[in-house]
Amino acid sequence: RVLVGIKVDESHANWVTAYNMLTGIRVAVSRTNAKIDRNLTDADFYVKQKSTFDIAGNELVPSAKYDFKFKDYAPWVFRHLRTLFRLDPADYLMSLTGKYILSELGSPGKSGSFFYFSRDYKYIIKTIHHAEHKFLRKILKDYYQHVIDNPNTLLSQFYGLHRVKMPYGKKIHFVVMNNLFPPHRDIHQTFDLKGSTIGRDYREDDLGKNPRATLKDLNWMRRKRHLELGIQKKQMFLTQLQKDVRLLQRLHIMDYSLLVGIHDLKRGNEENLRDKTLRVFNPGGNIPEEQDVPASVLMRTPSKLEGQRRARELRHMIQAEKPVLMGETSNRMPDELEEGQSRPGFVFNQDDGGFRATHEDNTPGDEIYYLGVIDCLTHYGIIKKLENFWKGLSSDRSQISALAPQQYGERFYNFITGVTMSQEQATREAQEKDAA
Ligand code: ATP
Ligand code: CA
Ligand code: CA
């Protein structure tokens, strides 16, 4: 099943980084999870816990393959956040502990951040800039309170904030967050929407080469797309979005976008879009190796029984305060994909993990949307002010993506409001436009 082996040379550095990230998470998270739960204190928001890993290991830190330092930020806050987001502690560790993690080929954004998927595709590790890291720590309390007040928030769900540092290497900060897209459904189209038009165009000519590219605002408008939600769902969605945007405005955040993944039920999963081959890091093996593996093989979730057995093993190890070591859990893949693993209880994940389109009369439509507000750690700092100034000299200021946070939020919210309507309403509006 494993297709091609790729020799490790220049990309070896990435492999070690990935290995160290996972080892650090595993040890840090099991350490916090092993303790009896307690209420948060103010101090918890500012805690950093440092571990030094080496080949020898010691009482507190198991031996590792490489020398590196690891920092776990606000571990109790993130433990509580994971509970609020209803993650099972054992499941979380298992996903990030499994034999494989995946990396998307390259880094999708312009920022140079790297993205890694957990083996089961549920979690994303994103490396972030030092400024974003500092900022997240600063706003953590507001974010935490927002999640308490808004269990259905559309904002990125942060599950952990960490740092690795290798000898002579740079400090690498990263977050663990939710993958908005489900492991078990083809996503036929992806849009990253900001409500801006300038520079917000994916070259349509390039779509042939890369049919699964993330499209932007202008591509959305060209296609006359809508988020086809009936009256009730539209209201639920926009009400939550507004609350989330208000928080971002208050915290002077900008540059975020609404990520929209569309699953077309008429097309189903037949095209096996998920079956693209992904670069795999295999930290569980005895020798560092990277391989290309069909994604479907890796995204298979363990069968219920298998999953329960592995969860038991893990709980056992966690309770025993024994760090979970690589390769100790079974990695056997069952043949069946488990369908419909939605996230129970969350409004925008109620339809097979997403939010299904509805008609005006509330009957279900043909699409499932996977929605969330991403990239929300950019503070309107001096850099953005400069960017605004320079771009402002040359074009219409309200169309520039770097606006002050207040205006950015307004433009963003207005744009999304404007494109959220049932198919019927969209048709009516188009006819009215034609008539005028
Ligand atoms: P830039 O600052 O240039 O926009 P970035 O490196 O900060 O880029 P993001 O904007 O966070 O990156 O994400 C880039 C792309 O990665 C998104 O457009 C989306 O396709 C994918 N992506 C990011 N976060 C998620 C997520 N939580 N779930 C699924 N896909 C995601
Ligand atoms: Ca972005
Ligand atoms: Ca960014």
4-179+273-319: CATH superfamily: Phosphatidylinositol Phosphate Kinase II Beta (3.30.800.10)
Q: Look at ligand 1, atom 4, and give the residue with the nearest C-alpha.
A: 109
Query: Each residue of 307-332: b (16+ CB within 10 Å) or e?
Result: beebbebbeebbeeeebbbbeebeee
List the beta bridge partners of residue 364. Answer: 358
The DSSP bridge pattern shows strands 277-281 and 214-215 to be unpaired
Instruction: Give the model's pLDDT for residue 273.
Output: 55
Q: Please say whether the beta carbons of 324 and 97 come within 8 A.
A: yes
Quickly name the fold that domain 191-270+341-435 has: 3.30.810
ipTM value: 0.99
Please give the mean pLDDT across all residues of the chain.
Answer: 80
Instruction: Give the model's pLDDT for residue 115.
Output: 81
* Ligand 3 geometric centre to CA of 113 (Å): 8
Domain boundaries in the chain?
4-179+273-319, 191-270+341-435
Does residue 407 line the site of ligand 1, with CB under 6 A? no
Q: Please say whether the beta carbons of 160 and 89 come within 8 A.
A: no
- 82 CB-contact burial (10 Å; exposed 0-12 / middle 13-18 / buried 19+): buried
Does residue 260 line the site of ligand 1, with CB under 6 A? no
CA distance 104 to 291: 13
Q: Please say whether the beta carbons of 192 and 259 come within 8 A.
A: yes
Ligand 1 closest atom vs CA 110: 3
Ligand 1 closest atom vs CA 372: 27
* Ligand 3 geometric centre to CA of 91 (Å): 28
* Ligand 3 geometric centre to CA of 324 (Å): 33
Tokens 């590219």: give the residue. Answer: 213
Does residue 90 line the site of ligand 1, with CB under 6 A? no
* Ligand 2 geometric centre to CA of 111 (Å): 8
CA distance 215 to 42: 42
Handedness of CA 75, 76, 79, 81 (dihedral sign): negative
Tokens of 64: 């590792």
Residues of the chain below pLDDT 50: 1-10, 104-106, 275, 277, 279, 282-290, 297-302, 317-342
- Using alpha carbons only, give the angle 93, 95, 96 rounded to the nearest 5 degrees: 65
- Using alpha carbons only, give the angle 273, 278, 281 rounded to the nearest 5 degrees: 155
Instruction: Give the model's pLDDT for residue 16.
Output: 80
Q: Please say whether the beta carbons of 297 and 333 come within 8 A.
A: yes
Query: Each residue of 221-250: b (16+ CB within 10 Å) or e?
Result: eeeebbbbbbeebbeebbebbebbbebbbe
CA distance 143 to 380: 17
Does residue 214 line the site of ligand 1, with CB under 6 A? yes
Q: Pick from 275, 68, 235, 253: which is nearest to 162 by CA?
A: 68
